[in-house]
Structure 1
Amino acid sequence: MKLWPLVPAVALCATAVQAEDLQLTPSVDARLRYENVEQDGLPGDADALTLRARPGLTAKSGEWSALVEAEATVALSTGYNDGLNGKTQFPLVADPSNLEINRAQIRYSSLSGMTATAGRQRIELADQRFVGPAAFRQNEQTFDALRVQWTRGRLSADLTYAGSVRTVNGSRGAGARPSAIDGDNIFALLGYRSDIGTLAGFAYLVDQDDVAVQGFRLSSQTYGVRLNGSLDIAAGAKLGYTASWARQSDYHRNPNDYSAEYWLGEATLNYSGFNASLGYEVLGADDGTPLTSVQTPLASFFRWNGWAGKFSTIPPDGLHDLYATVGHTLKKVGPLQAINLAATWHRFDSDRLDRRYGHELDLVLSARHGPFGASLRYAGYRADTLATDTDKLWLTLEWAV
């Protein structure tokens, strides 16, 4: 594991107390979650009750700041497969017990629009399709990295070198589910903000330099463009739109020789608390060999291709995801600041050979009051030619200050 990015953060925390204008800000982020999974083909249902807490401390002095944050996850029930405990009679709920340093970073932010962050950090790039923190899982995905961001007028640039990825498997990870994956990862985005939206070119060079993780076959280079924008179409009504294209191929030690295309088109309409969206995503395939379709191993998976989690690894024949969402937000309901309701439907098909994989319905009801949040979610996947019927239910309570 490459620990060099942690050195500056630790050094600053040790010396910053000497600064006369030092500001110290504590933080706590806690989440209690119950997850139930019924999956055809397995003898038992998963019942996972887990508690996660992230206490942290930020020290700030002028343009410099440092953050240290721990992460502890406790399994309050044991009737599930956490990916490490060998309980394969149950469905997977990838929230193993964990105790580790989640973030330890130093940051410099100048008034000229340049920010540099070094150390173990959270990284969210664009829509998190290719790089994100996987925040839905109890153990967050973070990066030992050096990141530089720059904005000047309509132009922006974002460049990251990450020497290690801390996975959602936590400190107990091993084998094909390691706690960290080293590699020379490079993420770069260059954007221009116009009247119709932000146009960005991006490059994601993912180096999964661990033979136990799919034999290096998740290492890839992806180059593409993305347009994201919105416009007011009537009083109180806003239309949002996103379009993206990329080409992915093998990289570094990947023994596969492949090339595949990625496409995304999405439109969203918001009006008076109601929202609706329609999207179509294509993760293309090459010749049908495993792991020669578009793969995104560093993505925030829960945001994509259904909450049932059937497509964290894209099938050899690729994936087409047609999806639609309708929702409504109620504000100031009694003591609650907001109540959100939403339903999303997915139809999944292959990119080659014209196969119907299945379909999925996702439902959510959430509410917030001050620092407290609660949500009830359901995902129902119905298989056609891929995987098996699966039902998932989540009840989550959160508190953050």
Structure 2
Amino acid sequence: MKHLASTCSILPLLLCAAGAAQAQDSWGDQLSRAVTEGKASVDFRYRYENVDQDGFDDDADASTLRSRLTLETAPLNGFTALLEVDDVSSIGVDDYNSTENGKGEYPVVADPEGTDVNQAWLKYTGTGFDGTYGRQRILHGSQRFIGGVGWRQNEQTYDGFRAHWSPIEILTVDASYVYNVNRIFGPDDGANPSDLEGDNYFLRADYKITPDHTISAFGYLLDFDSQNGYAAGKTVNNSSDTYGVEYQGKFDWFSVALSWADQSDAGDSQLDYDAQYYLVELGATFQAVNVTVGYEVLGTGDGVGFSTPLATLHKFQGWADMFLATPGDGIEDTYLSIGGSAGPVNLQAVYHDFQAEDSNADFGTELDLVATWPINKQFSVQAKYAAFDTDNRLRYADTDKAWVTLQLKL
């Protein structure tokens, strides 16, 4: 909360500074217009989640509502400000382990209750440049390394400074300094810390070779602090230096995504390793049916797996979330995705086969299904299912998860 207080208190001062060059008698009118001509929105997302996992006598059943209020000013001399508040409440059944409520007899549904400031920032936009200071959303590329975990009811956001610079139209440089990560486990500490403090740098450059072909380079330098009451595995051992490259290309009837990265321990991490990451993905569309095949590897070094602690992990390696932490012998994910539509309903099915990268272990397979109906611009309905079938009962349990989500945006 100390980071939030400093962020929020500095916003009015910076906003006043934006108008320093204006005449004294017009400042009040300009500030008034920035507020009255700004935007306000309300977002409600209800979700029912069921988890049936071997090893637990009872299923987890979670009925939660996320309510979000967002206020954004109109531009004032290039400056805008935003405040966004989220509340997550359990309504109805609450037989689940939120990681904070002490109900360890149930499987985990990582949606703890609470009210929190999700975003609070001041942004300056100029020609070819913008800079944002405060609590903010930071999403890089596919969110494989830096993301917002928007699937969960409490979003992951970042406290710090972010700058975008585009010296020429085909080149964009994105640099951030982050001193605190507001995680999905907040706003209060539980089995996992609600915040990760430290000195972290996110660097990414995107270069458009042509409108359909982009190459990117990135570096993520994570240095987290230790926290009383939490093991190193939940704090400082997430510190690492990661450097990589990525290619995204579209051809006449198919697309290609390639990525490679190298990672080593950093900061106060108690680990000593060097591991690599690979991705090869091909996509094609046949008569409105989208087909994607991919092979993703998170390697290992000295028994430590390549990790992406700030990624939107639910998006990768299956929606059952069995591999939020990379196994010590690494993981290979071979997957096939087929998507299309039936009238207004968007459909997708994904099949995964998981194996160890550095041993002969077979982890299991997973089938994921989702149907999304965007009824209109304000209201949508989604039904989603994930079934993980283990091939290694000593390490992973059979797990079925089902969700129904209703979202209203006003």
Task: Classify the TM-score, shorter chain.
Answer: over 0.9
User: Which shows bigger deviation, 358-367 or 271-280?
Assistant: 271-280
CA drift at 1:61: 2.1
1:359-393 per-residue CA deviation (whole Å, 9 max, x = no partner) reads 00000011002210100000000011231000000
Q: Which residue, 132, 142, 160 being the options, matches 1:145? A: 160
Give the direction of change, closer, same or farther, for the CA distance of 1:19–1:259 in structure 2 (3 Å limit): farther
Matches within 5 A, 1:136-175: 136-151=151-166, 152-174=168-190
CA drift at 1:18: 3.1
1:22-65 per-residue CA deviation (whole Å, 9 max, x = no partner) reads 22210112100000000001111000000001101100224221
Letter in 2 for 1:365: A
Give the TM-score, by structure 1 length.
Answer: 0.92
SS of aligned partner of 1:68: strand
Show the counterpart of 1:98. Answer: 114
Letter in 2 for 1:390: T
User: Which shows bigger deviation, 129-138 or 203-212?
Assistant: 203-212
- CA separation in 2, counterparts of 1:13 and 1:71? 23
Q: Which residue, 347, 351, 355 being the options, matches 2:353? A: 347
1:67-104 per-residue CA deviation (whole Å, 9 max, x = no partner) reads 00101000122211100112111100000101011100
Letter in 2 for 1:18: G
CA drift at 1:241: 1.4
Letter in 2 for 1:47: D
1:216-236 per-residue CA deviation (whole Å, 9 max, x = no partner) reads 111111001001121223xxx
Letter in 2 for 1:375: Q
Give the direction of change, closer, same or farther, for the CA distance of 1:144–1:10 in structure 2 (3 Å limit): farther
Q: Mind listing any 5+ residue stretches in structure 2 that lack a counterpart?
A: 20-26
SS of aligned partner of 1:101: strand
2:321 aligned with 1:309:
yes
- CA separation in 2, counterparts of 1:123 and 1:222? 17
Whose helix fraction is larger, Structure 1's or Structure 2's? 2
SS of aligned partner of 1:170: coil
- CA separation in 2, counterparts of 1:126 and 1:32? 27
Show the counterpart of 1:203. Answer: 219
The answer to whether the 8 A contact 1:8-1:105 is kept is: no
The answer to whether the 8 A contact 2:15-2:79 is kept is: no
CA drift at 1:208: 2.5
Show the counterpart of 1:384. Answer: 391
User: Which shows bigger deviation, 277-286 or 193-202?
Assistant: 193-202
Matches within 5 A, 1:157-236: 157-174=173-190, 176-195=191-210, 197-211=213-227, 212=230, 214=233, 216-233=236-253
- CA separation in 2, counterparts of 1:241 and 1:29? 35
CA drift at 1:173: 2.1
Show the counterpart of 1:366. Answer: 372
Give the direction of change, closer, same or farther, for the CA distance of 1:272–1:107 in structure 2 (3 Å limit): farther
Letter in 2 for 1:389: D
Matches within 5 A, 1:2-401: 2-3=3-4, 4-11=6-13, 18-20=28-30, 21-22=33-34, 23-62=37-76, 63-76=78-91, 77-110=93-126, 112-151=127-166, 152-174=168-190, 176-195=191-210, 197-211=213-227, 212=230, 214=233, 216-233=236-253, 239-288=254-303, 292-330=304-342, 333=343, 338-370=344-376, 371-385=378-392, 386-401=395-410
The answer to whether the 8 A contact 1:6-1:118 is kept is: no
SS of aligned partner of 1:352: coil
- CA separation in 2, counterparts of 1:228 and 1:217? 31
Letter in 2 for 1:279: G
4+ residue stretches of structure 1 with deviation over 2 A? 1-21, 270-273
Letter in 1 for 2:379: F
Letter in 1 for 2:41: S
The answer to whether the 8 A contact 2:278-2:297 is kept is: yes
Q: Mind listing any 5+ residue stretches in structure 1 that lack a counterpart?
A: 234-238
The answer to whether the 8 A contact 1:10-1:104 is kept is: no
Give the direction of change, closer, same or farther, for the CA distance of 1:19–1:389 in structure 2 (3 Å limit): farther
User: Which shows bigger deviation, 245-254 or 269-278?
Assistant: 269-278
- CA separation in 2, counterparts of 1:96 and 1:138? 8
- CA separation in 2, counterparts of 1:352 and 1:325? 25
Letter in 1 for 2:213: G
Give the total of aligned pairs. 385
Letter in 1 for 2:75: S
- CA separation in 2, counterparts of 1:129 and 1:218? 15
- CA separation in 2, counterparts of 1:181 and 1:318? 24
Letter in 1 for 2:39: T
Give the TM-score, by structure 2 length.
Answer: 0.90
- CA separation in 1, counterparts of 2:350 and 2:141? 21
SS of aligned partner of 1:260: strand
